Amino acid sequence: MRKTYAYNSIIFGVLLGILVYCTTESIALTVLTGIGVSVVGFFLIRMLEKALYKGADKAAEKITEAYHRRKEQKAIENGTYRKPEPTTQMPVRTATQMPMRPAMQTTAGTVWEKPIEKPVVSETNYCPYCGKAVDGVSRFCPYCGRSIEE
């Protein structure tokens, strides 16, 4: 979650309320001003932050794309370019391929739990694509994102 500065509008509302009280000496007008400025300011700041974050995310995506294109272009110029392997989809496991836990009896009937996953026995694996060390329980490389299952 991103940090928000919208809560600063509450402080601004209180300060503006105090200013209104000093000039008018009306408690009702002070309370209405403080609450109104706080609420309106909060929503305006949140809308501005969302717009800025959206723009920043799009800019980061464009920069990442440009970086990868430039890196690929340099590899082509140097003669070290390797064509990326086509991605394949992971096979989908069906319920018949995986052992099931025994059923739990409830008043409504039988409820089946999730299938039992087989843990990976080795302590350290190495990604066959990028060569980085990956802990033994990972199914995907945290560096390149590809499947490390044999």
Is 97 contained in some domain? no
Give SS3 for 55. helix
Please check whether residue 123 lies inside any domain of the structure: yes
**Number of domains comprising the chain:** 2
Q: Which domain holds residue 74?
A: 8-78
Looking at 78, 93, 127, the residue that finishes a domain is: 78
Tell me the C-alpha distance between 122 and 32, whole Å.
Answer: 65
**pTM for the whole structure:** 0.40
Predicted confidence (pLDDT) per residue in 103-128, tens digit: 555 555 555 555 555 554 556 677 87
Token pair listed for 55: 């723009």
Kindly state the DSSP code that residue 86 receives in the 8-state scheme. Answer: P
| Residue 95 belongs to a domain | no
Share of the chain above pLDDT 70, in %: 70
Residues 71 and 19 in one domain: yes
